[in-house]
Every structure is written in structure tokens, then in C-alpha cells.
Amino acid sequence: MTQSQLDPTPHPATAGATLLEVDDLHVEFQQRSGVVNAVNGVSYTLAERETLAILGESGSGKSVSAQAIMGILDTPPAVVRGAIRFQGEDLLRMSDEDQRQVRGPGISMIFQDALSSLNPVYSVGWQIGEMFRVHQGASRKEAKAKAIELMDRVRIPAAAKRVDDYPHQFSGGMRQRVMIAMAIALDPRILIADEPTTALDVTVQAQVMDLLKDLQRETGMGLILITHDLGVVNEVADRVAVMYAGRIVERGTVDDVFTDAGHPYTEGLMNSVPQVEAKGGRLQPIVGQPPNLAAIPSGCPFHPRCARRRLGADAAPGRDCATDVPPLRLVVPGREAACHYSEEVLGV
Amino acid sequence: MSPAAGSRRLSKLLVALEKPTGGSIVYKGRDVATMTGRALKEYRREVQIIFQDPYSSLNPRMTVGDIVAEGWSVHSDIAPRKDRLKRTQDLLDRVGLNPDYVNRYPHQFSGGQRQRIGIARALALRPEIIVCDEPVSALDVSVQAQVVNLLEDLQDDFGLSYLFIAHDLSVVRHISDRVSVMYLGSIVEEGTDEQVYTTPSHPYTQALLSSVPLHEPHLRGQKDRILLQGDVPSPADPPSGCRFRTRCWKAQDICATEAPALVDRGQGHPAACHFAEARAVVPVDAE
């Protein structure tokens, strides 16, 4: 399958070769209560030097799909189907050891909660150096020197002095920098950042996002940014994929999607957040709750909450929101949406 | 504003869960720290709190009805025993929950619904003030707006005053009439929402506002971005003089020796900075 079929939205002009192709990814969890369908047929591509934001609320499948790429889901209970091609090779068809050889230096990930992602009983220098000891067979001394170098690169002040400190001796922002140092240690081609700044103060958040963008400029890595924060997406990403109930419901360049949403869910999200630029009038929330992934609504999974839904006699033939699943389709050039009536949402 | 700013501790002081080591909280002319007996009981009824985490703030072994009605076992004069079920159901209905769910347990509700339970519990005692301690920060974006709107409606209906503690600057601007910005345990700037957001005068407020990511593509890059160096110092060992000086680009010798008073230095509202100067950092959305 070619890139344009998987992900036809325009990549930024600066983007390079395709690094990652996620093709019809499904992730389900077998639980006593039934099957939880966390990811339901997600496809996208990521190129060198580009930043793709995956925007969604809790339970949208945005983190689980990233964990599937990283191979850090326990299988079972998780069942992963589809294809995840990194530089052309399908990770899901490889042996565990081969996957490790590819992912280790190729794809890395940082998480929201840096404190619980770091081991409290080892110094940060030891944990950063582990990358070099395990993957490159470096000696302890070499590994420590490289750890100091990396801590400098992620702008931790007095790195040589702090290399032997433990995670609890660092602030939240500095811990996230330690995580980033570990993640970029082997010069990965792809960095997946799962809510990297959610737990941080807004001033520190800006510093960390700046650091990630600078590192991307230096190394040309592709960045997948998983977040629920519309502002972070607008300021950092080139393209955005909006997820709901385990599917991508809208995709396009950030400029296009944020200027004029093409899916009622995206539109609802934009209307429900207050903005710092103005006091604004009454918020317009999306009614109801995000769906239970063990019982995703029939048809369009968003239809029970959608103000624009058309049911029964109101619907066009084959486009009843309660029974017909809307595919993710190109609505206008460069923009896809999984809504039967996206043209009306966009006003085209 | 930030976790280390001291706002969390403030909420516990306000509802008399902790005692201040100095200063006083004066409510209707009386110092809360000296209140005892009936006066303290009455204060605790009139000043209620909604917590951030709707998961850990509700007792998992109690039904929703018992949680909402619990305050009446202390303040029994508010609701006569025979009316309590009806009253509880009315409250659930008022906060947007199905009144038939009165016998359900917290785990049967979503995060947004649990926060509504916490709001009903606070309302049950007919408070005058509700301390809202990060009431929407644990909620999903689409649900957050539902709770913000509910809080606004209840304020209008019951004439409530809110002391709203939050770090989300957009939510704060939306909901507040007046704003106090805290840094490392002290208020550094105070004013109406308009004053603080359009003419911030303390360097910390300016840095804070300039760091908020904007939602409009056409405003991207138009912001006068101020990147602060370093981290928030430990509140156990704050810097001498002005507590913000270690991260401030305006800091002079005087800042290390003399703590700036929170006074108006010509900006129309008070800021605790020797070199306070109004500076617009958030672009105005003309659309």
C-alpha cells in the first residue's frame, strides 16, 4: 500500500522520507467482562522532520496505539492486529528479539509521568548510561561520560555535578529532561511523546516543548505528539489526527483543522475549551460522556453525542449515523473526516 | 498557579482543615482561627469545598445518597430527617445526575459525574462560599466545559461566591471576576480578570501568560514569548527578598534585599514587583 492511500493529508514541505507506516492497526483487550476495543483500524504515516499530533480524550486510543508501536503492550491480554512498518519493515511480523534490535535505536518514547517512569534507586546518570551499556556495549566510564553529554544537550544545568543525583532530587521539568535524554540517547529516527508536558507548570511546559522542537531540528527525527491539549497541537505540530473511540475521525494540517473543523467532534472540542485570548461567552460543551470501549455505539461512534446526527428518515440513503459507520474519507483536498455529513460541517 | 505556589495548602486553610502559622482568615468580621464550638461549626457549613480528584475524594463504600446527605448528620437543622431522600434526589437532579442513582456507588460513575456528586455534596449544606480546588483539571476537555457551565449556573441560582483555585489560565480567565496570581506561597499580582490578562505587570504573570499555547493558527508566533530560566525554588528555602528574583530577567540588587510590597505602582492594580510595568503578552483575537 502506498503512503497516499494510508494517509493522504499533505506532509509539510520540509518533511523527508517516510519513516513509519501504521496500517489498519487494531488493539483489543480480552477482559473478563468482554472485549475492549481500544484501537479500531488506525492508519497513518510519519516522515522525517515532521510532527504529527494525535489529539484525543481519555479512552480515545491515542496512547494505546502508540504503545502498540513501541511494543510495550502485554500480549495477552492485548491483541494487536494490522501492520506497523518502520522504514519498510513490519515490526509485528518480527521475532521479539528482532523487534528489540529495531526499536531500541530506532523508535523511543517519553511519558507523561517522568517520576514514575524513572527508577528511584538508580542515579539518573546510570539510567541514561544504560542505553549505551546495553545497546552499544559501552563501559561504565564511557556510559557516564555520554550521560553527562546528553544531560548537557537537554539543558540540565551543571550536568557533570548532577549525573550522580537520584530522580527525587530533580524537579518535574528536569525529570522530563532526563527522560528526553534517555529517549534521544541512541539518536532515534522517531520519538513518541505521550502527553510530555501535561504534568508540568505552564512555564516549564513551554521550555520542554521548545527543547523537543530544537532536538527535532538538530536530528531530523519524526515526532509523534500525543496530547489532549489543543494549544500544544497548534503551536507544535504540522499535522493533526483527531481520535475518538479508537478511530481517527479527522486528519489534516493543523492550520486547516484548527481554522475550520470538518468533524462535529473536533468542532465540539474547539467550542468547549475556553481561550486565554478572550473571556468569551458561555462554553458549548459536548453533551454526554465519552463511550465505553467495551460497548462502542453502532454506526458512527460519536452519534449519541452529536448535534448534527441524522437518523432514520432524515438521513441520506446509506448514511444513517446510527447504523452506517462513516469511513475516514477525503472531504476536500488535504482533509479527511469520518463523518457522513462533513461537507455540511465545513460548509462546502 | 503552579503546584508549588501554595494554592493547594491555601484551600485547606480556608476550610479550616489546617491552622495558619501566622496571619488570619477573617470571615464576616471574625478570625477563623479563634472560632470554636457553634461558630466554627457554622463557618464549616457556610464555607464548602470541591476537590480536584473526583476519585479519591468520594468514599467508595458509601452510596451517592449517603455522601450527599452526610453533612446533614452534623447540621441536622438544614434538612429534616424525613425530607432527606427527597432533598438528596433534588440535589442530584440539580447537578445533572439522574435522581434514581441515589443508591449507586461512586465507582459506577465517570469522572465528570463524580465531580457533580462532589458539587451536590457541597451544595447540600447551603454554603455561601465554595472553595473550588482545581475542580475541572482532572476532567476530559469535553466534560470540563459541562462542569464549568454547571458551576456558573449554580452561582447564579444560589448567589454563591467561588474561590476558584486553578492552574489552567484559560479556565481562570473564563470563570473569574478577580484574579490573584501566586508564586511560591505569595500573591504577586491581583486585579480584575481584564487587568491581569491584558495588562499583566508582574514579570511572573507575564511569563506565565506568554507561555500558554494559543488555539488559533493565525495567532501562532505573534506572541511575545518569555521563556523563564530554571525551576521554581523549594518553598522550604525560598530566595531572600523577592521570591521570583532567581528566575527574573529584571532582577536588580534591591530584589535580593527587599521583598516588594503588593501595591499599585501606576498600573491600575497591585503587583509585588519593584519594577512593575504593564506589558501585553497575550495577542488579542480580533476575529
Question: How would residue A218 be classed by pLDDT, with cut points 50, 70 and 90?
Answer: very high
> In angstroms, rounded to a whole number, what is the distance separating the alpha carbons of residues A180 and A154?
7
Contact across the interface for A207 and B220, Cβ inside 8 Å: no
Better pLDDT: A4 or B22: B22
**CB-based contact, B148 to chain A, within 8 Å:** yes
Residues 231-250 on B with a CB inside 8 Å of A are: 231-232
ipTM value, please give it: 0.83
> What mean pLDDT is reported for chain A?
90
Contact across the interface for B217 and A259, Cβ inside 8 Å: yes
> In angstroms, rounded to a whole number, what is the distance separating the alpha carbons of residues A257 and A263?
9
Q: Answer whether residue A240 shows pLDDT above 90.
A: yes
Q: Answer whether residue A295 shows pLDDT above 50.
A: yes
Q: Top-level CATH class of B3-176?
A: alpha beta
Average pLDDT of the segment spanning A282-287: 89
Question: How would residue A3 be classed by pLDDT, with cut points 50, 70 and 90?
Answer: very low
Counting Cα atoms < 13 Å in the Cβ hemisphere of A208 gives: 32
* Cβ-nearest to B145 among A58, A285, A289: A285
Question: How would residue A291 be classed by pLDDT, with cut points 50, 70 and 90?
Answer: confident
* pLDDT at residue B285 in the model: 64
Domain ranges of chain B: 3-176, 186-257
Q: Answer whether residue B220 shows pLDDT above 90.
A: no
Chain B residues whose beta carbon lies within 8 Å of the beta carbon of residue A210: 227
* pLDDT at residue B12 in the model: 83
Q: Percent of chain A beyond pLDDT 70?
A: 99
Average pLDDT of the segment spanning A255-277: 92
Chain A residues whose beta carbon lies within 8 Å of the beta carbon of residue B218: 259
Residues facing A23 on adjacent strands: A83
* pLDDT at residue A2 in the model: 41
Residues facing B15 on adjacent strands: none
Chain A residues whose beta carbon lies within 8 Å of the beta carbon of residue B193: 279
Question: How would residue A1 be classed by pLDDT, with cut points 50, 70 and 90?
Answer: very low
pTM over 0.80? The answer is: yes
* Cell numbers 521570591: residue: B243
| CATH code for the part of the protein at A16-121+166-346 | 3.40.50.300
Average pLDDT of the segment spanning A122-134: 92
Q: What is the per-residue DSSP string for A69-137?
A: HHT-S-TTTEEEEEEEEETTEEGGGS-HHHHHHHHHHHEEEE-S-HHHHS-TTS-HHHHHHHHHHHHH-
Kindly report the nearest CA distance between residue A245 and chain B, in angstroms: 14
* pLDDT at residue B264 in the model: 94
> In angstroms, rounded to a whole number, what is the distance separating the alpha carbons of residues B58 and A182?
38
> What mean pLDDT is reported for chain B?
89
**CB-based contact, A33 to chain B, within 8 Å:** no
**CB-based contact, B207 to chain A, within 8 Å:** yes
Chain B residues whose beta carbon lies within 8 Å of the beta carbon of residue A243: none
pLDDT tens string A8-28: 888 888 888 899 999 999 999
If we measure between CA atoms, which residue out of A188, A101, A185 comes closest to residue A144?
Answer: A185
Q: Are B216 and A234 in contact (CB under 8 A)?
A: yes
**CB-based contact, A13 to chain B, within 8 Å:** no
Q: Answer whether residue B281 shows pLDDT above 90.
A: no
In whole angstroms, how large is the CA radius of gyration of chain A?
21
**CB-based contact, A165 to chain B, within 8 Å:** no
Q: Answer whether residue A4 shows pLDDT above 60.
A: no
**CB-based contact, A56 to chain B, within 8 Å:** no
What are the phi and psi torsion angles at A93 (to 5°)?
-95, 5
pLDDT tens string A297-347: 999 999 999 999 999 888 888 899 999 999 999 999 989 999 999 999 998
Better pLDDT: B104 or A4: B104
Contact across the interface for A277 and B216, Cβ inside 8 Å: yes
Interface test with chain B among A63, A201, A271, by most B beta carbons within 10 Å: A201
Better pLDDT: B243 or A290: B243
* Cβ-nearest to B110 among A205, A235, A289: A289
Domain ranges of chain A: 16-121+166-346
Residues facing B163 on adjacent strands: B131
Question: How would residue B286 be classed by pLDDT, with cut points 50, 70 and 90?
Answer: low
- Maximum Cα–Cα distance for chain B, whole Å? 68
